[in-house]
Amino acid sequence: MSTSKVVYKGDLRTESTHLQSGTVILTDAPTDNHGRGEAFSPTDMVANSLATCMFSIMGIKAKKMDIDLVDSKADVTKVMQAEPRKISEIIVAFEMKANVDEKSKTILERAAMTCPVFLSLHPDIKKTITFNWN
């Protein structure tokens, strides 16, 4: 079964529909690549997917450990290279709101590094991940 349906809307915009939920996501090409930049670009989505995937895997582990990660945040930065145009680095800076011991921090951080997006990204893409625990 398909995961999504993507429709090219013109002017470098796409509309993606998640078939299970009906959720719709728009993408635009970035302004530095002939687009309007009015929505996430496809490469923005890749970088953002890394952070959301890492949160999902940490959330699964945290639930088993009875740890609440609510209100934790991640600042995501995508770095592009020019030739060939591609993502060269994704920087994810986590601000973790859970008050946990060092062992729990280590377990959750290691779990994050096993997320499918992290493991699926090409090894040439530098992944700079930091955790700041409040």
The one-letter amino acid at 74: A
* Token pair belonging to 80: 């592009």
pTM above 0.85, yes or no: yes
Pick the closest to residue 58 from 118, 113, 7, 2 (CA basis): 113
Which whole-number Å values give the CA distances from 66 to 55, 69, 75, 114, 131, in the listed order?
A: 15, 10, 25, 20, 19
How much is the average pLDDT of 27-43?
A: 94
pLDDT by residue (tens digit) across 60-106? 999 999 999 999 999 999 999 999 999 999 999 999 999 999 999 99
The chain-wide mean pLDDT, for the chain, equals 97
Residue 134 has pLDDT above 90, yes or no: no
What is the spatial distance between Cα 68 and Cα 51, in angstroms, rounded to a whole number?
17
Closest CA to 73 of 97, 54, 90: 97
